[in-house]
A and B are shown apart, each in its own frame.
Chain A
């Protein structure tokens, strides 16, 4: 069990990652010039309520551990914002790229 509550450092999630029975939402934040590092990435549930937030890695990677349902990933950055929605079902990796402009 994690003895903290803060978001861990984010890393890329390879497509063949074993999600160990969890629904994992992962992706990359991109800006006008490719991968955008350091954006604040928020996970919202189907009602639009906040569920979690991480800061994307220098390469724009982020990851959430969720459940089946409707989700929106919203990214905030000094250069702008962007979001993408996805519906998840069975445990596994769901890729959610988000463009910020």
Chain B
């Protein structure tokens, strides 16, 4: 798998805004970003209200995903280009989710919304209308999704990569520095996890580092890439970004995203927690 198979550049995107069979999708947690201006022709997916189950803590199910994509006018044959703010965190989460439900023809816009804006490319407030489709999803591919019991079993056996900031890893902060620090769960990290913050996989402009740079990064962190790997963060979207780097850019086979992440693990009764630096 090469970079071109999973990422498109902003230049490619600009040239393909009107290409039939290519659908641009902005994925954000804060959907007011889309309202203020988006890539021409892009539809929006609201990370919180459209990808998450409104009651249980889980994603929308297969039927929900089919309904969502059908309503967005996305068909099974479309090439979906995902992008978003926050260095593509939520777009990477959506990418993982598209893969989970079997949509293979999906790529990320390298650098996301930030790179597009830093390039000074056009944004529009015009909302496109797309005809409804009859999207059919596959059953979830659980080879890329980790649940809590598997994570507890992975301590000292599989690679656990905590992609949060060092201060969240050591327990000094409970949340990223752009958020207030109130929190209900315990601080710290899963024992035996290595702390490789997601930001180390990206350049300042939000584009991903090269596969060679990524390999060097994880080697320096002492990650044995021949072993299965589980990535986690606080709620599973920054770890989707790292999952993308490990599986899609470096081509590692057995990589899972633990979407329950610290908000689940740090609230479990009885599980081991480590504090401080490793």
Contacts and interface: CB of A to CB of B under 8 A. Distances in A.
Interface residues of B, number: 42
Contacts of A38: 117
Determine chain A's interface SS by DSSP, over half rule. Answer: strand
Contacts of A76: 114, 118, 204-205
A78 B234 CA distance: 31
Interface string A1-13: 1111111110000
A34 interface: no
B118 A50 contact: no
Interface in B68-89: 85-87, 89
A101 to B, nearest CB: 15
Contacts of A2: 175, 179-180
B270 interface: no
Nearest to B173: A67
Nearest to B172: A67
Contact of B235 (A5, A65, A66, A78): A5
B204 A52 contact: no
Interface residues of A, number: 31
Nearest to B114: A40
Interface string B23-65: 0000011101000000000000001100000000000000000
Interface of B: 28-30, 32, 47-48, 85-87, 89-90, 114, 117-120, 165-167, 172-173, 175-184, 197, 199-200, 204-205, 233-235, 237-238, 263
Interface of A: 1-9, 22, 38, 40, 42-43, 45, 49-55, 63-67, 74, 76-78
